[in-house]
């Protein structure tokens, strides 16, 4: 397959808005790939799904914010605006990065104290280059039974994100469920993914913040690709689990 590397300059970088988004319900964050990451920047993740849910997505700057919209194909307003969607695949993952957040009392007011957390349920959304890598890694090793570390190589236009395999450390079903936020427990992971993906396009009337996406880089780092099929990994094509049908472009 054809592999392209690309790093298109992005005009604006979205500020991290984790604190605000934490309070929001219903939308999972995406694993964030910062543009200006240091060489030693790493993101530890655990895959909960090992096949991507694939779809086309528009990434736009709206009022200085990056927003992603799932392309609905026929009648998609963003296509009609002349924007070209790109092919992406989403995985459900646990972001194992440690983070700090504000402690809140029963009324939701900040207490002034900071708490530490880790293991947030997120979407990992990548373009064709990374999907091809993940396809290969999944066939060769499987993705589910260990942590992976996402790390970067190169700088500037040759920046790439890579996936490093951790030691075997299989989680029991119970361990996984305990890590999930309550409202996602007992649910099918692919269903959760589809709900997140489809929700993004059908629910644009929710508050603006709900559709903000912090990942300028996602579009950039993974190689922005044209939408012809020649670059699409076979596995990706064959594992669409229905979503692609609903979202298929004309
Ligand atoms: Zn579209």
57 lies in a domain? yes
Q: Report the relative pairing of strands 29-30 and 120-126 from DSSP bridges.
A: parallel
Q: Is residue 214 part of a domain?
A: yes
pLDDT by residue (tens digit) across 146-199?
A: 999 999 998 877 889 999 999 999 999 999 999 999 999 999 999 999 999 987
pLDDT for res 25: 52
Separation of 243 CA from ligand 1 center, angstroms?
14
Give residue 242 CA to ligand 1 midpoint distance, Å.
Answer: 18
Say if residue 119 is exposed, middle or buried (CB neighbours under 10 Å; 0-12, 13-18, 19+). Answer: middle
- Domain annotation covers residue 218: yes
Task: List all residues 6 or more positions away from 86 whose beta carbon is below 8 Å from its beta carbon.
Answer: 56, 57, 59, 127, 219, 224, 225, 227
**Cα–Cα dist 249/232, whole Å:** 15
Find the 246 Cα to ligand 1 centroid distance in Å.
12
What is the 203 CA–ligand 1 centroid distance (Å)? 15
pLDDT given at position 161: 93
Q: What value does the mean pLDDT of the chain take?
A: 77
Specify the number of domains making up the chain. Answer: 1
The tens digit of pLDDT for each residue in 104-113 reads 898 989 999 9
Q: Is position 106 within any domain?
A: yes
> Which residue numbers in the chain have pLDDT < 70?
1-25, 200-250
| Residue 187 located in a structural domain | yes
Is residue 4 assigned to a domain?
no
Within 10 angstroms of residue 196's Cβ, the number of other Cβ atoms is 20
* CATH code of residue 128: 3.90.198
- Ligand 1 center from residue 107 Cα (angstroms): 41
Q: Specify the pLDDT at position 35.
A: 79
- pTM here is 0.69
Range of the domain at 206: 23-247
Task: Indicate whether 9 belongs to any domain.
Answer: no
CA of 34 to the centre of ligand 1 (A): 25
Residue-level pLDDT at 3: 63
Q: For residue 241, is it within any domain? A: yes
């Amino acid at each position: 397959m054809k592999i392209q590397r690309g790093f298109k300059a992005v005009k604006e970088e979205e500020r991290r808005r984790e604190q605000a988004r934490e309070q929001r319900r219903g939308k999972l964050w995406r694993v964030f790939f910062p543009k200006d990451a240091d060489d030693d920047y790493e993101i530890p993740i655990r895959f909960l799904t090992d096949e991507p849910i694939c779809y086309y997505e528009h990434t736009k700057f709206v009022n200085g914010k990056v927003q992603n919209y799932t392309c609905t194909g026929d009648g998609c307003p963003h296509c009609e605006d002349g924007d070209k969607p790109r092919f992406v695949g989403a995985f459900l993952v646990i972001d194992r990065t440690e983070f700090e957040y504000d402690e809140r009392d029963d009324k939701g007011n900040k207490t002034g104290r900071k708490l530490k957390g880790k293991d947030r349920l997120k979407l990992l959304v990548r373009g064709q280059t990374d999907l091809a890598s993940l396809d290969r890694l999944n066939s060769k090793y499987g993705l589910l039974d260990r942590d992976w570390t996402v790390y970067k190589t190169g700088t500037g236009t040759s920046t790439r994100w890579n996936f490093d395999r951790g030691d075997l450390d299989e989680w029991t079903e119970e361990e996984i469920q305990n890590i999930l936020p309550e409202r996602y427990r007992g649910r099918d992971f692919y269903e959760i993914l589809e709900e997140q993906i489809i929700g993004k396009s059908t629910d644009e009337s929710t508050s603006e913040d709900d559709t903000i996406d912090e990942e300028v880089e996602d579009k950039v780092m993974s190689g922005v690709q044209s939408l012809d099929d020649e670059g699409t990994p076979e596995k990706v094509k064959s594992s669409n689990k229905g979503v692609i049908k609903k979202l298929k472009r004309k």
